[in-house]
Amino acid sequence: MVRAVDLIQKKRDGHELTTQEINWLIAAYTDGRVPDYQMSAFAMAVYFKGMTTRETHDLTMAMVNSGEQIDLSAISGIKVDKHSTGGVGDKVTLILVPLVASFGVPVAKMSGRGLGHTGGTLDKLESIKGYRIELSQADFIKQVQKIGLAVIGQSDSLVKADKMLYALRDVTATVDIIPLIASSIMSKKIAAGADRILLDVTVGDGAFMKTLEEAETLSKTMVALGKEMGRRTIAVITDMSQPLGQAIGNRLEVLEALQIMQGQGRKDLTDFICELAQLMLELAGKQKSLADIREHLTNGQALKKLEEMVVCQGGDLADLYRPSAAPVITEIAADKEGYIKELPALAFGLFAMRLGAGRAVKTDKLDYETGIVFEKKVGDSVQKGDLIARVYSNEKLSENMLTEFKKNVKINKEELSVNEILRIIT
C-alpha cells in the first residue's frame, strides 16, 4: 500500500518519484485522503530537493487530470491562450485579447484575480458595471463562436489539485520553486484547452522571478512541458522591475487600456503589446507586420472587439468609459531634475493595495476606483516640479504616505535605456 509519508521521505532524501507515485499523491490529495499537513511537507521537500524533468511532467499531467478539461474543438481555427506570471499594472490581457481577435484568431481565455501587490484581469473587468465573469462552458464556447473572444473566471472544476495546492503553498512558503510554479501554470493552460500558448514570464522586483536566470529556467521548463503535451508554447521574459505602463488600479488600468486602443497610450506599452500580438498571431499561423498590428490596435478594430465582448458579457458600455470616481487626486512632483532611475514595482503595487486597489488577503473587498497613474516612467527625463504621478484615493494622503511615495521615486543624473521584452524562449 502506498503511504504519503513514504513519498514525503523519498523526496526529502532526494530520490525521484515514479509516475504512479505522483499520480497517487495528487489523486489522494484531491479527494481528501492525504491531508494538508502531509502535502505541505511534500511541497517543502520539493522546495529543497527539486524535481526532475520527468517528475515535473508527471506532476503537471496528474494536476490536469485532477479536474475537468475544457474542449474547445467546437470553435474553428487555432485557439491561442496567453498567460502572465503576474505583475503590477499588467493590463495586457485587456488589450491583447481583442487585438488578436480582431485578426480573426479566436481567443477563449480564463483569467485570475489579483492578490497582494499583483493585479488580476478579472478584477479589472469587474470594474465595468454589469460585466459577468462567470459563464457556463456552453455559453463561453458559444460567445467565442459568435464574436471571437471571451474572458471569464477560471471554472472551479478545472485543475482542482492546483486550487488546493496553491492555497497551501501560499501559506507555507513554498510558492517560489520552479517545478511547482511550472506545473501549476501549465496544468491550468493545458486544461483550459487552447492549442497554442504564449507565456509572459515577468522578472524583477514586482515578479515571482527575481533574476533573469530564474525566469529563463522557468520559461524553458514551461515551454518544454507545453511541447511535450502537443501544445506549442512560446515564452517571453518581460521586465517587472517597474509597473507596466502608466496605471495601477482596476478602473485606472481599464482607462489606460482604452487610451492605448485609441492610439493615445504611451509608445513603450503600445509597442510591447504589438510585439506580444505578433507572437500570438504567429502561434496561430498568421504572419503580420508590426505596422499592421499597430494599425488594428489604434484604428478602432481592437476596441470594437473589446466593446463587443463587454456587451456580450453583460457589461455597460457607457460605464466602460467612465473616469475614476476616486474623490481625492494628489499630484506628485519631481523634487529634482534628472532621469527616473527606479520606480520599484513591488513598493508601488503595495502602495496601491493600501489605497484599496488590491487585496492583502483573498477575502478583501476591492475599491475599483483607487490607484496611481504615472506620468513619468524609468528612463524619462524630468525637470524639478514636473508631474511624476497622480494618486487616486478615498482620503487625503497622510504625510507618511506622501513621503513614502516620493522616497520610492529614484531620480539620478545618468540617462538609461529600458526594454520591456528581455528574452524570447521558443
d(CA 99, CA 159) in angstroms, rounded, equals: 28
At its nearest, how many Å lie between ligand URA and the CB of residue 239?
17
At its nearest, how many Å lie between ligand URA and the CB of residue 241?
18
83 tagged catalytic: yes
132 tagged catalytic: no
Question: In the bound complex, which residue of the shown chain has the CB atom lying closest to ligand URA?
Answer: 184
CB atoms within 10 A of CB 145: 14
- Are 333 and 387 within 8 A, CB to CB? yes
Which residue among 58, 162, 200, 239 is the active-site one? 162
Beta carbon nearer to ligand URA, 166 or 339: 166
Pure H helices in 192-266: 212-228, 250-261
Judged by the rule CB under 6 A, the positions of this chain that interact with ligand URA are 85-86, 166, 175, 180-181, 184-185, 208
Ramachandran assignment for 177, one of left (phi > 0), alpha (psi -120 to 50 degrees), beta (any other): beta
- Are 347 and 403 within 8 A, CB to CB? no
Beta carbon nearer to ligand URA, 98 or 206: 206
188 tagged catalytic: yes
At its nearest, how many Å lie between ligand URA and the CB of residue 305?
26
Which residue among 11, 188, 296, 376 is the active-site one? 188
Which residue among 11, 82, 83, 377 is the active-site one? 83
- Are 197 and 80 within 8 A, CB to CB? yes
At its nearest, how many Å lie between ligand URA and the CB of residue 208?
6
At its nearest, how many Å lie between ligand URA and the CB of residue 118?
9
At its nearest, how many Å lie between ligand URA and the CB of residue 203?
13
Beta carbon nearer to ligand URA, 179 or 265: 179
Beta carbon nearer to ligand URA, 8 or 209: 209
**DSSP letter string over 65-78?**
TTSB----TTS-S-
- Sign of the Cα torsion 36, 39, 41, 46 reads negative
- Give Cα separations from 282 to 97, 256, 269, 286, 401 (angstroms): 14, 26, 20, 5, 45
- Give Cα separations from 124 to 70, 129, 153 (angstroms): 24, 11, 12
Which residue among 184, 187, 219, 241 is the active-site one? 184
Radius of gyration for the alpha carbons in the chain, expressed in angstroms and rounded = 22
Beta carbon nearer to ligand URA, 17 or 63: 63
Beta carbon nearer to ligand URA, 72 or 201: 201
* Beta bridge partner(s), residue 330: 391
- The residues annotated with a catalytic role in the active site are 83, 162, 169, 184, 188
